[in-house]
Amino acid sequence: MDKIQQHQKWLLILLVMNIVITAFHYTDNFLDFEHYPSPAWITQQGVWIAWIILTAIGIIGYVLYIKRFFWLAYISIAIYSITGAFSPGHYFFPAKVAFSFKMHTLIWLDAIAGAAILIFTLYLITDDLQESSKR
């Protein structure tokens, strides 16, 4: 297995992990919308719409990586990482009720997963730039 195939495998693992974790968090956010603090402009339906759009961008990013359109893939996956990496943003808005253990857990699992795929994408970019400079 060459380096690109290994990267592709790890990217798929991180993407699936992120999709599953964000699905749990966004579903909980949708179902328990009134308890999740957020900006006034976010609606309950907007939570699902954002998840669908950002998840599609992540999947497109993975397909672009497979097809070796690396820079488009990196941009897409970095945008997708927002689904999780920005989850702690809930803490910047006043909560109507105390966060439950479940809410804290989902927010931080989502944040860790989003950060992991973003960090891996930055690693891929760095690796790609180093390989390009050797040519």
What pLDDT, on a 0 to 100 scale, did the predictor assign at position 117? Answer: 98
Q: What is the DSSP letter of 100?
A: P
What pLDDT, on a 0 to 100 scale, did the predictor assign at position 59? Answer: 98
**50 lies in a domain?**
yes
Question: pLDDT digit string (tens) for 64-120?
Answer: 999 999 999 999 999 999 989 999 999 998 887 889 999 999 999 999 999 999 999
Does pLDDT of 63 surpass 80?
yes
**65 lies in a domain?**
yes
Query: What is the residue range of 17's domain?
Result: 3-129
SS3 37: coil
**114 lies in a domain?**
yes
**135 lies in a domain?**
no
What pLDDT, on a 0 to 100 scale, did the predictor assign at position 76? Answer: 98
**117 lies in a domain?**
yes
CA-CA-CA-CA torsion sign (131, 122, 69, 4):
positive
Number of helices and strands in the chain (H, E)? 5, 0
Domain count, the chain: 1
40 backbone φψ class: left, alpha, beta (φ>0; ψ -120 to 50): alpha
